[in-house]
Amino acid sequence: MIHERVSANLAFVRRGIEEAARAAGRTDLPRLVGVTKGRTFEEFFALASAGVGHLAENRWESWTSRLEELPGGFSSPLFWHFIGPIQTRSLKRYYRPLYRIDTVDSVSHGEAVSRLAASLGNRQGVLVEVNVCRDPGRTGILPEALGREIESLAALPGTTLEGLMVMGPVPGDKNAPPVREVFSEGEFLWREALKAFPSMETLSMGMSEDYSEAIRCGSTEVRIGRILFEEGTR
């Protein structure tokens, strides 16, 4: 039952991605990252078995335990993204090289990741999280400070800047800027960063509630969780 529901929801989301890209006149398709935080092993395994290879967790111990739970015969490659807030204590305790850390929100956190990665002989791919909504309750570098922060982050020896991560406004927040405005600014900031740092090819922008709008604004990667698992998505 879970496998059937996840497979049907995945097909619905993939159609939505294709339609949004086509509406924007794009010939490329953004990457789908399946967010499995808070999901059961059965739900995670159904998504991985359906062919979603890029997966995201918000706790360090969660993605490592997922690997331990996989059956021995599972051979599809999985690329793990960390999407939670970076906490130095947890980072030191649980860090192990993974595909990418998507939430580097300050130079100090970037330095912490760089030190750990370099100590393991690794160069860790990261995204810079930008607080385009300028919401004081959120993490992320403010757009006004982004240029100089990126320059400092780019100089770190243990990390590689691979792009920006932008979150849309909280649905229903009347004080937040319009979603199109947020995503358009995110796309502008990304293109400016890309001019200076060609390795920053990724714009991770858009979730279950707003991924279509994000794709129309140029997102190259969407992070989808809820609508991949819930009943009644399609």
The predicted structure's pLDDT at residue 140: 97
At 81-117, the pLDDT tens digits run 999 999 999 999 999 999 999 999 999 999 999 999 9
Tokens, residue 151? 């320059």
C-beta of residue 18 within 8 angstroms of C-beta of residue 29? yes
What stretch of H or E contains 41? Answer: helix 41-49
The phi and psi torsions of 143 (rounded to 5 degrees) equal -55, -35
Q: At what angle do helices 60-69 and 41-49 cross, to 10 degrees?
A: 70
CA 202 and chain centroid, separation: 10
What sign for the dihedral angle of Cα 7, 11, 13, 17?
Answer: positive
At 139-173, the pLDDT tens digits run 999 999 999 999 999 999 999 999 999 999 988 77
Compute the distance between CA of residue 164 and CA of residue 158 in angstroms, rounded to an integer: 18
The predicted structure's pLDDT at residue 207: 97
DSSP state of 141: B
Give the type of residue at 5: R
Compute the distance between CA of residue 195 and CA of residue 197 in angstroms, rounded to an integer: 6
The phi and psi torsions of 99 (rounded to 5 degrees) equal -60, -50
pLDDT band at 79 (very low <50, low <70, confident <90, very high): very high
Is 90 exceeded by the pLDDT of residue 76? no
Whole-structure pTM value: 0.95
158: left (phi over 0), alpha (psi -120 to 50) or beta: alpha
The predicted structure's pLDDT at residue 114: 98
Cβ neighbours of 182 (radius 10 Å): 23
Domains along the chain with CATH numbers: 2-229 (3.20.20.10)
Mean pLDDT in residue range 172-196: 93
